[in-house]
Amino acid sequence: MGFSFNMLWSAPEINPYNKKAKSIPVFNPVNKYGRVFFFSYLGFFIAFWSWYAFPPLLSKSIKADMHLSQNQIANSNIIALTATLLVRFIAGPMCDHFGPRKTFAALLFMGAIPTAMAGTAKNAMGLYFIRFFVGILGGTFVPCQVWTTGFYDKNIVGTANALVGGWGNSGGGITYFVMPAIYDSLKKDQGLTSHVAWRVSFIVPFILITAVATGLLLLTDDTPTGHWSDRAAAVPVGHHSHAAVVSTSGGLADKPTNTTATSLSSHDEKKRASSPTDVETASGDVQIIDEFQHEVIVKPTPKEALKVMFSLQTLMLCAGYVCSFGGELAINSILGAYYLKNFPHLGQTTSGRWAAMFGLLNVITRPLGGFIGDLIYKWTNHNLWAKKFWIHFVGVMSGIFLIVIGKLDPHNLHEMIGLIAVMAIFLEAGNGANFALVPHIHPHANGILSGLVGAAGNLGGIIFAIIFRYNKTNYAHAFWIIGIIIIVLNTAFMWVKPLPKGQIGGR
């Protein structure tokens, strides 16, 4: 299926087997697939903005107001990431049980309350408490990805997930522009003191979160067929009839024709489903409807959840996301302070704006990671090994550039900006590359897998934030250590097969 620009606003072609869209109507929020895309990235964008609303004001205004030490600021960053790790871990099974749309809205409403209460913090302990509960908003990433996966077909799902994730991640960059701007406006134009201005500024994200969550609930669907309870209706049942078979050398969305279709008996279906050649390599004729039925999300049993949790493929994806998103979270928390340390003449607002570029690059970099993953998948005739090696390649490259930054510790502003930007391209592309592969693995438990991988990103953020904490303001040394860890973790999992043995579906 070739690309044309009118796909960006036209109603998409639908895969008749699973009712998923084969293109992304980016500029068509009227279409139901376009509405899900719009609210997926907008909801995560607003959540990410509020989740990272503290760091732009912490390095100077909040620090001075509460008399915080550098260690207390680092502790608050770690606590915010810890809450999100726990929420993402829980959000995965919630998506499988209640559906991603309701889970998404619930997390937004729950995170809006502590956002509105941010101004009640009076000391370090109060800051820890507020940032822990605001961290609920970081968990919205999981339903964001599961929801999009449910609406977009395999040919485009990596790009769709990367776009909503990347545009959502950019909230971490926007916050470096917006929060200081709101603070400056309240202080200069409204005449508020610094003590009051930073507290009032948090009302803005609270209003936006509440508005987006309400719109998400009222204007979108759980699945392409409507309610979450009807999700299995998207895939026709073919076990009790002579269902058509198409060769997997074609696209999964290719419709069978009377001239090329054959019929399988129930015995033949079982035989093909148990064939290691067909299941593991997808060679020959595979029952397409059977594959899609294995991709319908089911309510997980504890046994199934443990099987997904401890598979090598899950660990491989988690390791990759520890590196990419974990590195991004930790760096995003300290980058403004790093710029301020090496270039003190910039001040809080300007150093924050340069730091914002790191997060804003997500608008391009994360989608690029997913888009190239989908492109590689197409070019290699649906070879998941190639899609997997793309993750490792961008991971190793990001580690190399982190080591370079750590060793040089640039004191030339242009050099610093350039190196951070190139490093960000590889680091953030890794996020998109990772979630371009996620929909292929354990598709019947996509919520659990997305939750585990998303939580792993926060675990990485915590680990790397601890490294920054114990290196205090020696940010360059921490960059060097993180770069080594990222290279080691990516190379350690290169040998793992992209699909678990015996998995049906996910190709």
pLDDT of residue 154: 87
Judged by average pLDDT, the poorest of 243-252, 435-444, 490-499 is 243-252
Judged by average pLDDT, the poorest of 311-315, 439-443, 492-496 is 439-443
pLDDT of residue 3: 60
User: Phi and psi (nearest 5°) for 82?
Assistant: -65, -45
Do 47 and 171 meet the contact criterion of CB atoms below 8 Å apart?
Answer: yes
Residue 162: partners with Cβ closer than 8 Å, 6 or more residues away: 366, 367, 368, 369, 370, 371, 373, 431, 432, 433, 435, 436
Question: How far apart, in whole angstroms, are the C-alpha atoms of residue 413 and residue 306?
Answer: 49
- What is the sign of the dihedral through the CA atoms of 50, 446, 148 and 210? negative
Mean pLDDT of 155-163: 92
Q: For residues 73 and 211, which has the higher predicted lDDT (pLDDT)?
A: 211
Do 287 and 267 meet the contact criterion of CB atoms below 8 Å apart?
Answer: no
Residue closest to 297 by CA, chosen among 95, 87, 17, 89: 95
The domain spans of the chain are 8-229+302-492, 236-273+282-291
pLDDT of residue 304: 81
Residue 431: partners with Cβ closer than 8 Å, 6 or more residues away: 162, 165, 166, 169, 321, 324, 325, 328, 362, 366, 369, 457
Tokens of 44: 């995560």
pLDDT of residue 138: 93
User: Which 3-state string (H, E, C) describes 386-411?
Assistant: HHHHHHHHHHHHHHHHHHHHHHHCCC
Q: Is 8-229+302-492 a domain of CATH 1.20.1250.20? A: yes
Of all residues in the chain, the percent with pLDDT exceeding 70 is 85
Residue closest to 319 by CA, chosen among 464, 462, 457, 138: 457
Terminus-to-terminus CA distance in the chain, angstroms?
Answer: 17
Task: Enumerate helices (H) and strands (E) in the chain, giving the number of each.
Answer: 22, 2
Residue 242 reports pLDDT greater than 70: no
Residue 140 reports pLDDT greater than 60: yes
The one-letter code for the residue type at 105 is A
pLDDT of residue 49: 93
Question: How far apart, in whole angstroms, are the C-alpha atoms of residue 385 and residue 387?
Answer: 5
Average pLDDT, the chain: 86
**How far is CA 30 from each of CA 9, 222, 223, rounded to the nearest angstrom?**
10, 16, 16
pTM of the predicted protein model: 0.79
Residue 261 reports pLDDT greater than 70: no
- 324-333 per-position pLDDT tens digit: 999 998 998 8
Residue whose pair of structure tokens reads 């508020």 in the numeric block: 192
Q: For residues 255 and 397, which has the higher predicted lDDT (pLDDT)?
A: 397
Do 361 and 431 meet the contact criterion of CB atoms below 8 Å apart?
Answer: no
**How far is CA 91 from each of CA 106, 142, 366, rounded to the nearest angstrom?**
10, 6, 22
Question: How far apart, in whole angstroms, are the C-alpha atoms of residue 95 and residue 103?
Answer: 6
